[in-house]
């Protein structure tokens, strides 16, 4: 039996300024051309704030996934 996790993971996509491809806002570099993303490579103070926010968001996401996992395993 295959248990599918249909959890919507919201990842913001930004356009690479170099090649114009869509890149995850969590990426440090563009996977297409290697261009550093402005979110992290730009203003240092801003980047730090964004990194902290991303860390908090990741913890929240892990909590949501863990809660969903517990719910699913309890139902089965
Ligand atoms: Zn690129």
For residue 74, give Cα distances in angstroms to 39, 49, 53, 63, 69: 40, 38, 31, 16, 8
**Rounded to the nearest whole angstrom, what is the distance from the C-alpha of residue 19 to the centroid of ligand 1?**
4
Distances (CA, A) of 16 to 9, 23, 26, 34: 21, 6, 12, 10
CA–centroid distance, 8 to ligand 1, in Å, is 25
pTM: 0.37
Ligand 1 centre distance from Cα of residue 44 (Å): 21
pLDDT (tens digit, 9 = 90+) per residue, 18-57? 899 998 888 888 999 998 876 544 444 455 667 777 777 7
Residue 67 has pLDDT above 60, yes or no: yes
Distance 23 CA to ligand 1 centre (A): 8
């Amino acid at each position: 039996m295959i248990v599918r996790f249909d959890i919507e993971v919201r990842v913001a996509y930004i356009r690479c300024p170099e090649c114009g491809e869509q890149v995850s806002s969590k990426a440090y570099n563009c996977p297409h051309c290697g261009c550093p993303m402005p979110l992290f490579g730009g203003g240092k103070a801003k980047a730090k704030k964004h990194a902290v926010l991303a860390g908090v968001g990741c913890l929240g996401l892990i909590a949501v996934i863990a809660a969903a996992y517990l719910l699913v395993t309890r139902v089965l």
